């Protein structure tokens, strides 16, 4: 249920007593098997708004991206206060508003349900356009390598002669 519902979908729990509308509050997953070990629920009260983080869903292609610029996404969820009946699973962010370098989308531009109010700072940037710049590769100078068998300037060739003399003595 948790994988399908996520953290922003109302889950109705039936059990002892009346049915309760809840949200997943905390979930523990087994690190190896990935199975749900434990879940805590937050019980919703009718007529009372709740504050929670809702994930953002980036939709459409930015014209600036088609022009070769980079779209930088800096925020992936926003905090809102909303009536449980209007609780969105996610909030769409329309990237088609990003047309040129310097354009940005702020949290205040995200469409919210009618009963919702934004808790996240309204002037917080959600996505922006940056110029694509290639950084020049810095090539480190290679250290000089010595080639074995190559004669260096200022070296003697006495070693082979000394070797020949040693052989004669034997």
The answer to whether the CB of 98 falls within 8 A of the CB of 104 is yes
Phi, psi (deg, nearest 5) at residue 158 = -75, -25
The top-scoring range by mean pLDDT among 14-23, 96-105, 136-145 is 96-105
pLDDT of 167 reads: 54
- Does 46-134 carry CATH code 3.40.50.620? no
CA distances from 76 to 33, 107, 137, 139 (A): 27, 11, 32, 37
CA quadruple 16, 22, 26, 27: dihedral sign? positive
How large a percentage of the chain has pLDDT more than 70? 77
63 near 97, Cβ under 8 Å? no
The pLDDT score that the predictor gives to residue 89 is 87
pLDDT digits (tens, 9 = 90+) for 93-135: 999 999 999 999 999 999 999 989 999 999 999 999 998 777 6
Domain boundaries, the chain: 1-44, 46-134
């Amino acid at each position: 249920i948790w994988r399908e519902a996520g953290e922003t979908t109302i889950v109705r729990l039936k059990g002892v007593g009346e049915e309760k509308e809840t949200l997943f509050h905390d979930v523990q997953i087994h690190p190896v098997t990935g199975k749900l070990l434990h879940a805590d629920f937050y019980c919703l009260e009718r007529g009372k708004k709740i504050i929670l983080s809702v994930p953002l869903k980036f939709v459409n292609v930015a014209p600036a991206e088609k022009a070769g610029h980079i779209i930088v996404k800096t925020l992936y969820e926003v905090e809102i206060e909303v009536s449980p009946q209007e609780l969105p699973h996610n909030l769409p962010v329309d990237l088609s508003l990003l047309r040129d370098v310097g354009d940005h989308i702020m949290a205040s531009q995200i469409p919210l349900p009618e009963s919702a109010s934004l808790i996240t700072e309204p002037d917080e940037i959600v996505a922006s356009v940056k110029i694509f710049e290639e950084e020049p590769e810095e090539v480190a100078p290679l250290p000089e390598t010595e080639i074995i068998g190559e004669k260096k300037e200022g070296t003697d060739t006495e070693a082979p002669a000394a070797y020949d003399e040693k052989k004669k003595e034997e």
